[in-house]
Amino acid sequence: MIQTVYSIDGKELRSIDMDDAVFGLPLNEDLIWYAINNELANKRQGTAGTKDRGEVHGSNAKPYKQKGTGRARRGDKKSPVMVGGGVVFGPKPRDFSYAIPKKAKRLALKTILSLKAQSDTLKVVEDFSIESGKTKELASLLKNFGDSQRTVIILKDDDSRIRRAGANIPWLSFLSYNRLRAHDIFYGRQVIILESATKKLSEFYGDKEKAREAAE
């Protein structure tokens, strides 16, 4: 797949040939749904919890006699129908996380990258860094690629200065080429990949990765 490389000023510089094994795959909606829901489930804290009638603090004594009062029968104040009583079938702390096959996860990420490349929401930009670490400098640079919208920048490595500059931009997130998140990329209105990161993505997810698996 041929993709245009842009300068930090938003101007076209040159064209590069991107690996079709990473950026030229057909859409697989089921696999994308599978990967995104797995990420969301793994992020859930699972700390919601309620008390049943055996856990609520209160007396076990019968509040009043069984018959003769004209009121409903009451066993104790912890009954679920009483105010302050226990909760029936309420949530309990649990672990929502689960694992999916590694190959399925990797294929889902490549499918999303292909979708973005084919829909022209993916831009390859020459390598840059924010030496000052200031948000203002990064924000002015991003204006060359469109208005404020949900944007993901894929980096070659963990550049602490550019991450620091973007920490105060709520619609911007950073990902390393080897630590992608399906949810962030799929819902990003714009995906910006540094030119050096495209080579790393091809090595990490492309044919070289298949060759390494075959050798093993």
- CA dihedral defined by 146, 108, 105, 198, rounded to 10 degrees? -50
Residues in the chain, total: 216
pLDDT tens by residue, the chain, 216 residues? 888 899 888 888 888 988 999 999 999 999 999 999 999 999 999 999 999 999 999 888 999 999 999 999 999 999 999 899 999 999 999 999 999 999 999 999 999 999 999 988 999 999 888 888 899 999 998 988 887 889 999 998 888 889 999 999 999 999 999 999 999 999 999 999 999 999 999 899 886 545 455 445
CB neighbour burial string for 130-165, b if at least 16 within 10 angstroms, e if fewer? beebebeebeebbeebeeeeebbbbbbeebeebbeb
Q: Sign of torsion, CA 129 151 156 168?
A: positive
Q: Give 204's Cβ-side CA count (13 Å radius).
A: 15
Question: Which pLDDT belongs to residue 88?
Answer: 94
Question: Which pLDDT belongs to residue 71?
Answer: 93
| pLDDT tens profile 177-186 | 999 999 999 9
Long-range pairs for 210-216: beta carbons < 8 A, 24 or more residues apart: 210/21
CB atoms < 10 A from the CB of 193, how many?
Answer: 27
Which CATH architecture is the domain 2-44+100-215 placed in?
A: 3-Layer(aba) Sandwich (3.40)
Residue ranges per structural domain of the chain: 2-44+100-215, 46-95
CB atoms < 10 A from the CB of 74, how many?
Answer: 15
Question: Which pLDDT belongs to residue 180?
Answer: 94
- Predicted TM-score (pTM) of the model is 0.82
Question: Which pLDDT belongs to residue 207?
Answer: 63
Question: Which pLDDT belongs to residue 103?
Answer: 93
